[in-house]
Structure 1
């Protein structure tokens, strides 16, 4: 039985930055770790959303597909999300996400938070990475080739995590969130947002984190460092 509001993570962001993305945890195993999450697929092909026990691949072509149980995930984060508080609030921009989290618990700066936002957005910008062009291509190189889409008057769900600054490189420090529309047709890594009216915003504080590291030769041979500027650049 999965404990509520614990975080499970496979691999670390530094591994993606070093281009380690040829294998990972299978989708069938990942979905046993929680009911919502984010991540990517082998060869960093698009963005991942785990929502209500289903794994979706958000592709650079703009389409979405449901992932099969045997597909592998080189980096993925999940939680058995149970909101500790749910409110309705407008979001004038992406920075308002932090406002809501701080209002919920302003002493959680060195803890983790998971959240889910459901509603209609006046404007929203999201990106998806196109995937590695050669084996071992680092994530930082993919930033200039990502597909960016802008949407207006779109309804959907944001799945996100906030990690402490000290965890940069293990996770993405600060906000890391993916969006998927209500009809499961479009989505991506969230860059900008604006809501006209109120959205439903649920939050949970997390103080239990389990990280499973790959045991592959490529992971162990990779030269990993924490590229703070590079991570911030690719994550927007």
Structure 2
């Protein structure tokens, strides 16, 4: 993959239908980019690919480095090279939605394109979630979201990896903002629900090349998929 192209394995709609029994390996994902997001088999926690290392962000705030053979039923990644970097007052974030405002101010003619970004620095406040894994085969993501582990962190240094996807791609990707956090010491992290930050650096890249690899498993091909916009918004925050 060339810099700032997206590789994605499977579809968000597949997770919403409970399809998470198998996938590519962590080693294979690490070859597709230097940063990315996703989940693990049976939706056991959140996945964060950062600087070539795949992390599993587990319930109760625990973190482990994934084994090269761990399977990943859904992930999106890129070889990220920032085209713009925003710092200082222009990068102050009073909410999760403020990231979208930063992207809009510093990228033109990108409303229907994808964006990748990385936020490094000191976060005043973060609210993060991790899903705790399927309790039965085929359990949908929206149902898992009702029992997710949620934690808040204050004055924590770390990194957010994120993607912004156009509304038209809802169900293939997560439309809008999708971001995962890990702290500097690799002790806590998760899917970002809320954030505030005064001193961060935001790297941004606009992306118009997408490669999607679909699973060939029996579970994927047997699934009845449709885009549950309300369910996706509720679980993704």
Partner residue of 2:126?
124
CA distance in 1, matches of 2:223, 2:171: 14
2:174 to 164, 172, 175: 172
Q: Residues 121-156 of structure 1: CA distance to partner in whole angstroms, max 9, x if unpaired? A: 111100000110000101110111000000100010
Structure 1 residue 104 displacement after superposition = 1.4
Partner residue of 2:146?
144
Matches within 5 A, 1:42-191: 42-88=41-87, 89-191=91-193
Q: Which runs of 4+ in 1 moved over 6 A?
A: none
Partner residue of 2:226?
225
Structure 1 residue 50 displacement after superposition = 0.2
Name the Cα RMSD after superposition: 0.7
Structure 1 residue 20 displacement after superposition = 0.4
Partner residue of 2:209?
208
Q: Residues 45-84 of structure 1: CA distance to partner in whole angstroms, max 9, x if unpaired? A: 0000000000000001211000011110000001000000
**What TM-score, normalized by structure 1, do the two folds share?**
0.98
CA distance in 2, matches of 1:152, 1:61: 16
Structure 1 residue 198 displacement after superposition = 2.4
CA distance in 1, matches of 2:165, 2:148: 24
Structure 1: runs of 5+ lacking an equivalent: none
Q: Residues 9-47 of structure 1: CA distance to partner in whole angstroms, max 9, x if unpaired? A: 000000000000010011111110000000000000000
Check the 8 A contact 2:123/2:199 in 1, yes or no.
no
CA distance in 2, matches of 1:166, 1:198: 33
Structure 2: runs of 5+ lacking an equivalent: none
Structure 1 residue 105 displacement after superposition = 1.4
Structure 1 residue 204 displacement after superposition = 0.0
**What TM-score, normalized by structure 2, do the two folds share?**
0.98
CA distance in 1, matches of 2:132, 2:26: 20
- Give the length in aligned residue pairs: 234
